[in-house]
Structure 1
């Protein structure tokens, strides 16, 4: 497989890095010379300086032989033109990152002009926040196997009953399994010998109700009823529109004209013209009573400062968007409850599209070191007809759940993967290629 990535920012770099780790040939097109040099030092890819929407540059990158072009620059227009041009020059498939405003209408079918798949990081973040608010004790939550399986992330606190206990003690309900644990900056694919410590972040999978029960017992968070959102970005407005159906929502922005515009869009959200620095305003608007305080601007400094003010004034839960991946751990150490990265979400969406076919779901864990994936074996898959015990697997690969005929199976050594099974696996990124080979996805 041969992929061209247009845009060498953090998003493009992460996508290129993931592809290279799977043995896929990659060319990166980036306008900035300094950034080109930085990328060349970090990954084994051909890096071309130039405009990815320029036909000459695309031809130089080998677009005629490309199986896929992924355009993820900061310009929606450049991304769309790059995809349309690449498609006309012979690229098999194209993917474009677009601004959230392009998703507000369903009248435009981009596939008709050469864009096979498009996505908006802002829309992805809005849906991520909505899912988190549905189960407030979780740090993150995702559905797999068409909703039959839930994955949730939770924090092991100092008073948790799990501290000092090993997985082999069967400390979690039957029908659930721990797929990964983040300890500091490392991601661990745990065995039964793993012993939990304070500060661990664990990922539990199983039937939705079972997982929800575990998460709810980890913390005494109440149902989210009152939400305050800082900033009137398109992402924030879309989130408010989603939440106002079942929650009391207040949105604060300092731009009078913007407040007037979104007041016409939002039906139940109270839009307030004000400054995040005005502590009296925040107190008057009841910040101390809100269940969730959310800052989704594009500026990390503003998001961090806003959430710190929210915490200081009594907000129960703070959620922040983080553009710089290197700052996620810093945000959490500063006391922000949940730091969401559109870069990680973007990489998940693109990689899911690239692996379409047997791959049904893909979750890249926050450190970027491991993934939780859902696959269906092809009819020629090596894994079929053998017990898991008889399959030679490298370390740091864990079979979590098999979904067969609507039944969830926590696999043991004598279980056999069958055709049409949906299999959920956690593994370090460098082991994903081996898994794909076992499932007949080359």
Structure 2
């Protein structure tokens, strides 16, 4: 399959890395020679320096034979024009574009991205994806990661083990005795930045980040087992009134969650705009890093502060100040991947990455057929997929104990005819089953081939 990726930033690079490992023909376009040099040096992909919206550049990139174009440059307009040119001049079958500007996403112009206007098949908004990711953490308080699978029947959850929770310092093989009816499967542990795939004799320690699959009906009990009995926040302070903060407030309203939201926005014009768009919430015009503004927002009484400005340093500092004021929990937007190792040493409960959210969403649209969902964890080291099993899979009608499953690959749950099955040694996978799998990023291509014979794309 031939894919053109416009933009070699963090999102474009990571998408190229995913697709290149699956033996696709990948070309990446960017105006920055250094970013293209990185693509050529580190990936099995062809990098071209140039403007992605120009016909001659797309022609050099092989648009005549391309199956898919993914436009993720920093310019919405370049992304849109690149898709238009790819459609009009080269008849590229599928076009995906990242669009940030809220005016383009206004429901009033919903027909803009149609085949008769701007022929973009899938529009991805990083701000909307981040707002969704934050909302999922609010729905299940105490989680660091959340992914709904199989239509919400199974969840992949990440949690931090608290010092006094029942599962700490207990071998995994004893958990069945402690919680005989709890439908969960522990998949991986992140400890001091290292990924551990635990065996029966391994223990979870206080401070570990544990990733596990759970039957949706057992989520609350599972969270309690890991020491988390937080109730859903009803009083939230949002630091930053940009698109993410606005989208999140609107999501909460649309879901009828009855959550009180205060948004701190330093730009006076923007604060006035938010007051008009969100009349039911309190908008405070000021600098969230100033003591008097935090006092005015009563952040010490808030259950959650959500820091979503476009400045990572301000988000981190604002989160720490909120904790000092007595805020129970902070969710912090972090763009720069080099800050990720520091998060565990700070009092930040949840760090949200726009890059990870956007890449996971785009990859779900790129893949078709048997791959139903994809999530990237731990800065890309781990991946979770939901696979629909085909009749030609080598794993059909064979007990799990007899399968040659690669090391560190975890089958977390199976959904068959709407029923959740937690895997046991003699569980048999059948055609049509939805299987939830976690594996190291490097092993995922072989995992996909084992379970579905071949990887279908778009």
**Shorter-chain-normalised TM-score: which range?**
over 0.9
| 1:382-401 pair list within 5 angstroms | 382-401=394-413
CA distance in 1, matches of 2:392, 2:113: 34
Does the CA-based 8 Å contact 1:400-1:425 persist in structure 2? yes
Unaligned runs of 5+ in 1: none
Q: Which residue of 1 aligns with 2:302?
A: 290
Aligned with 1:214 (options 222, 227, 245): 222
Aligned positions of 1:26-65 closer than 5 A? 26-65=26-65
The yes-or-no answer on 1:242 pairing with 2:251 is: yes
Task: Tell which deviates more after alignment, 173-182 or 116-125.
Answer: 173-182
Is the contact made by 2:289 and 2:317 (CA closer than 8 Å) also made in structure 1? no
Inter-partner Cα distance in structure 1 for 2:281 and 2:392: 53
* Structure 2 Cα separation of the partners of residues 383 and 326 of structure 1: 39
Instruction: Provide, for residues 260-281 of structure 1, a one-character-per-residue CA deviation record: whole Å limited to 9, x for no partner.
Output: 1111111311111122233123
Distance in 1 separating the partners of 2:419 and 2:404: 26
| 1:377-420 deviation per Cα after TM superposition (whole angstroms, max 9, x unaligned) | 22322222323233322211111111011211112232221111
**What TM-score, normalized by structure 1, do the two folds share?**
0.95
Structure 1 residue 423 corresponds to structure 2 residue 435:
yes
How far did 1:109 drift?
5.0
What residue in structure 2 maps to residue 95 of structure 1?
Answer: 96
CA distance in 1 between partners of 2:371 and 2:270 (Å): 41
Structure 2 match to 1:186: 194
Which deviations, in whole Å up to 9, do the C-alpha atoms of 1:279-313 show, x marking residues without a partner? 12321331110011111112111111211211121
**Is 1:404 equivalent to 2:416 in the alignment?**
yes
* Match of residue 75 from structure 2: 75
User: What is the match of residue 433 of structure 1?
Assistant: 445
Distance 1:271 1:56 in 2: 48
For residues 125-144 of structure 1, give each alpha carbon's deviation from its aligned partner in whole angstroms, at most 9, with x where no partner exists.
11111111122111122211
Number of the residue aligned with 1:303: 315
SS in 2 for 1:192: coil
Q: For residues 47 and 417 of structure 1, what CA distance do their matches in structure 2 show?
A: 41
> Which segment is superposed worse, 164-173 or 387-396?
164-173
Superposition deviation, residue 94 in structure 1: 1.5
CA deviations over 1:32-60 (Å, ceiling 9, x no partner): 11222233232232111011111111111
Offset, 1:220: 4.3
| 8 Å contact from structure 2 (residues 186, 213) kept in 1 | yes
Following superposition, the deviation at residue 22 of structure 1 comes to 2.7
Larger CA deviation: 316-325 vs 326-335:
326-335
Contact 1:176 1:204 in 2 (8 A): yes
**Does the CA contact (< 8 Å) of 1:83 and 1:115 recur in 2?**
yes
- Identify the match of residue 383 of structure 2 among 366, 371, 388: 371
Q: Is the contact between residue 22 and residue 430 of structure 1 (CA under 8 Å) also seen in structure 2?
A: no
Q: Quote the Cα distance in structure 1 between the aligned partners of 2:237 and 2:37.
A: 42
Q: Distance in 2 between matches of 1:81 and 1:247?
A: 40
Please give the residue correspondences for 1:334-349 in structure 2 after superposition, counting only pairs within 5 Å. 334-349=346-361
* CA positional deviation for 1:211: 1.8
Q: 2 CA distance for matches of 1:109 and 1:188?
A: 47
3-state SS, counterpart of residue 151 of structure 1: strand
- Give the aligned partner of residue 86 of structure 2: 86
1:163 is matched with which residue: 143, 165, 168? Answer: 168
From 132, 153, 156, the equivalent of 2:158 is 153
Moved more, 23-32 or 158-167: 158-167
After the TM superposition, which parts of structure 1 deviate over 4 Å for at least 4 consecutive aligned residues?
none
Aligned residues: 442
Q: Distance in 2 between matches of 1:129 and 1:413?
A: 36
Cα distance change of structure 1 residues 356 and 188 upon mapping to structure 2, 3 Å threshold: farther
CA-CA distance at 1:437 after TM superposition: 1.6
**Alignment partner of 1:108 out of 111, 133, 137:** 111
Kindly indicate whether the alpha-carbon contact (under 8 Å) linking 2:397 and 2:430 is maintained by their aligned counterparts in 1.
Answer: yes
- Quick one: distance in 2 between partners of 1:280 and 1:317? 20
Q: For residue 213 of structure 2, what is the aligned residue in structure 1?
A: 205
Root-mean-square deviation (CA, aligned residues, Å) is 1.8
Cα deviation for residue 111 of structure 1 reads 4.1
> What does residue range 355-370 of structure 1 map to in structure 2 within 5 Å?
355-370=367-382
Equivalences for 1:100-139 in 2 at 5 Å? 101=102, 102-105=104-107, 107-108=110-111, 110-112=113-115, 113-139=118-144
CA distance in 2: counterparts of 1:440 and 1:132, whole angstroms: 34
TM-score by length of 2: 0.92
Q: Which range moves more in the overlay, 229-238 or 99-108?
A: 99-108
What do residues 62-120 of structure 1 show as CA deviations (whole Å, max 9, x unaligned)?
11222221111111111111122222313222211111513331622524132111111
- Is the alpha carbon distance of 1:22 and 1:194 closer, same or farther for their aligned partners in structure 2, counting shifts above 3 Å? farther
Of 203-212 and 148-157, the range deviating more from structure 2 = 203-212
Counterpart Cα distance in 2 of 1:368 and 1:184: 16
Moved more, 340-349 or 202-211: 202-211
